[in-house]
Structure 1
């Protein structure tokens, strides 16, 4: 049939073929032992057949909560191989959050790690109507998807590239959470782009300390595609990170900016050997150019930045190692250049291209982009209007086609009639050598409407005062940007994904108001 002749592989097909290419190589290293590529392939097959026998079929919603272990990766891949749509539940999320997500996603199967989340899974299933089937990772019971016989059968290939492979939720900080529908087409495109542009080392030993149910799930397949291995840790701890890099001679890893800040502060007071690192991927949140310059001094030219969002995951633009050039410090504020596979534009309010240097909304189109928001047709139409994904990010292009993000449109605050993008203030604050991190929000003010308010984490032993930092911002950005209030914190609150939790910072000031503007 002509459809078969031009059939493009699903995301799971790409994973399966990678595992077949390097059967004897180590795929995962864990504290309890190593698994080869062939062992991971057989594990995925075994779980897939167990899910199928339990009743999972194409189009079903499968959610999972589990820690960083190879079985987690296997269960996600197995569900997707059957044509089911996978919804991750973050281990740090609350029961109430998980109920909202599972209800909206119409989850019919819940997979939970038996050792850590069996009770949580049972409580979650009891809250849902209809109650989903609960399957366990481990535990040896009749519902254990790992208890079936080993098999040399191939990983099922039921999924089509148009099937929704990942239904991930975003935007839950305010209002109704949005289920982002990513098809096998989107995830396969992501894999192609990462292999082409992430500059991963030839000798690839990747340290995975972020959640395998979330961001790391999209990074493991490109590592396998290149025959690399993944060393898993339960989470991020700077001491454990440094020791793991030294012990395993790690050559690549992924860190969000907040992790890099913690790591830099740790390295400043400890003797560590991180000389094996050749690539540090970072993204998910803006990084201060000054702290990035500091990181380049510590680690050398190993950084690769990627920019994307849930609706167009991770690979809209890349700032390469070569473009992290301290001789061009202004470029450290960029998120890089668009990939040739995608159309990326900065558009005005009428969806017309903005001139070079002019601010507008960053918009994307191409095979990476989501199919829409689950059961939200009006929001989908608004976000995907006129043939573009409207990201909600404000940015500009320079004459060399580098993209610079100013902030999120929704994060803009208005003070005294002036539009202020918090990142501009944050970047000014962290230029001070005694500042580790900063977050800026607007708070209600009877005179200004919203008052620029900064929360700052100082480096160990720092003595810089609030007045000094306010004066620094005034000098660099002008009086409108200068914080009306500045508060020191031991650490910024973070979301489960490692981003600064501005919802928590705003809650003290905005309370239960319906609109976080004044």
Structure 2
């Protein structure tokens, strides 16, 4: 598509371009927003709210601790591993203000996954929740991490409540396995030591890396997408332009059930909402539906960011359906395909239509979204401002409108590349800045995009990418496994579920329970298979490559979907 093709596709009042150089870096946006909205609430969790002014003060204290009490230098990597808690934005923005590169880490990672990410990123520091500190204890001796800061769930609550919450989590719910990390510093001590100390505010260049966001890409090896300050600033401005068209500054209350360590929630809640002074209600454990609904009942929320799985679960909850949705004016969906039935049900229950969008870790992440003014269910909307899209054939030739091909994206939100993986970068990103998404799509005459299929074998479980290569590599380490394959099969609840096929070595014996236990011990929850099937042989090409597509086709036939 020519650049001009998109210019007249935007709703009235939405500019076709943003200025990605409007702010020098993320810190500049943070400073401006925390001054403009100093008295406005920024984040709430577990009954406690911090304002933008308090966010700036606390992140400054954390930055000062890092600068005065550690030997960390600008450009060093710091892994942040925690769920949605008030500590998360404090740590992330504090680390950035100290000039560090944030490595977002899933708190559900196994020791094996943590070890790979920490070593690959070269992380020198880790901030983690006490609940997973026992895993850090196992992993740290095998990494270059020198500084460890441990936080407990209630650390930013008022003193009495903090003591109560932390005691309940540790002693009543027994959610903190014993650990021994003598070098660890308590988060509360770090904040206390940093308070009142002068910080040397980092002022990175716009092209400097702000975040290493890990993704499996097209192989099973997790790679760090280098997201620069310019990438993040561009995407927050793009989100504000198209997703924030009917949101008012300093007035919006946004429910935040998706994990902030995931790029979708990270950019939208921590970045884009900062621009408009939004109030983010952090849901620590959205799987606890009764607890989530109870939290929602306390707010006249105006925005909700979720994904298909969560929308389905909530709409099936009787107490959720009784909530007051009179203030809700914006619902955004991403991370996985939004089903038509889900969109219709959500609108019926809440009175609010869902704007579905599309993005990738490598694009910071938002590429396109349905504008409020004209939602087309079944599409992923139009590209956000300053973004070009095209579809290509297998030979890399541009295809005309209405053709089916691989979606490619170009814009200021496209990553710098993969961390220390030039070959992998060259496979996905060309010299002109076009990024191959690996998704098969159609560009309609009206500029709306529709995803048709995925080119790669990636499995999408509740919005999380799962890569068969990784699962097969882990499964192959189980004694007795001769051959194995992993595929995604349709699942009503999670979009897709994982099924593994196993060929057992001659003379060996394996049970389904042994396979599931092995995967449980080595991969995080959403990567674990739901189904196991033993076979004598697996379909392969003439050079022995296992044909996953054939296995998927067989499963779809069984379900009458092919």
Taking structure 2 as the reference length, the TM-score comes to 0.70
With over 3 angstroms needed to count, the CA separation of the structure-2 counterparts of 1:515 and 1:44, relative to structure 1, is farther
Please provide the CA RMSD for this pair.
3.4
- 1:57 matches 2:57: no
8 Å CA contact retained: 1:83, 1:160: no
Q: How does 1:144-159 map to 2 (within 5 A)?
A: 144-151=189-196, 156-159=201-204
Q: Which runs of 5+ in 1 are unaligned?
A: 1-5, 325-330, 413-421, 427-438, 442-449, 460-492
Output the CA distance in 2 between the equivalents of 1:262 and 1:291: 10
Q: Which runs of 5+ in 2 are unaligned?
A: 1-20, 156-183, 469-484, 495-519, 539-543, 551-562
Q: 1:285 Cα shift?
A: 0.8
Alignment match, 2:56: 41
Answer with 260-269 or 104-113: which moved more.
260-269
Q: 1:125 aligns with which of 140, 143, 146?
A: 140
- 1:98 matches 2:123: no
Output the CA distance in 1 between the equivalents of 2:317 and 2:57: 40
Q: How many correspondences in the alignment? A: 436
Q: How does 1:281-430 map to 2 (within 5 A)?
A: 281-324=332-375, 331-387=376-432, 388-411=434-457
8 Å CA contact retained: 1:242, 1:273: no
8 Å CA contact retained: 2:356, 2:370: yes
Output the CA distance in 2 between the equivalents of 1:164 and 1:269: 41
8 Å CA contact retained: 1:20, 1:38: yes
With over 3 angstroms needed to count, the CA separation of the structure-2 counterparts of 1:21 and 1:289, relative to structure 1, is same
8 Å CA contact retained: 1:83, 1:163: no
Runs of 4+ in structure 1 off by over 6 angstroms are 450-453, 509-514
Helix, strand or coil: the match of 1:248? coil
Alignment match, 2:478: none
- Once the two structures are superposed, residues 365-399 of structure 1 have per-residue CA deviations (whole angstroms, 9 ceiling, x without a partner) of 12100011111111111111252100101001111
Output the CA distance in 2 between the equivalents of 1:95 and 1:119: 9
Q: 1:276 aligns with which of 298, 319, 327?
A: 327
- Once the two structures are superposed, residues 184-229 of structure 1 have per-residue CA deviations (whole angstroms, 9 ceiling, x without a partner) of 1101111101111113532201121222233433222322221221
Q: 1:45 Cα shift?
A: 0.6
With over 3 angstroms needed to count, the CA separation of the structure-2 counterparts of 1:506 and 1:344, relative to structure 1, is farther
With over 3 angstroms needed to count, the CA separation of the structure-2 counterparts of 1:343 and 1:455, relative to structure 1, is closer
8 Å CA contact retained: 2:25, 2:203: no
With over 3 angstroms needed to count, the CA separation of the structure-2 counterparts of 1:404 and 1:155, relative to structure 1, is farther
Taking structure 1 as the reference length, the TM-score comes to 0.76
Helix, strand or coil: the match of 2:298? helix
Q: 1:250 Cα shift?
A: 1.1
- Once the two structures are superposed, residues 282-306 of structure 1 have per-residue CA deviations (whole angstroms, 9 ceiling, x without a partner) of 1011111232223222223442222
Output the CA distance in 2 between the equivalents of 1:337 and 1:244: 33
8 Å CA contact retained: 1:82, 1:158: no
Answer with 167-176 or 395-404: which moved more.
167-176
With over 3 angstroms needed to count, the CA separation of the structure-2 counterparts of 1:149 and 1:381, relative to structure 1, is closer
Alignment match, 1:135: 149
- Once the two structures are superposed, residues 165-202 of structure 1 have per-residue CA deviations (whole angstroms, 9 ceiling, x without a partner) of 11111117952111111111101111101111113532
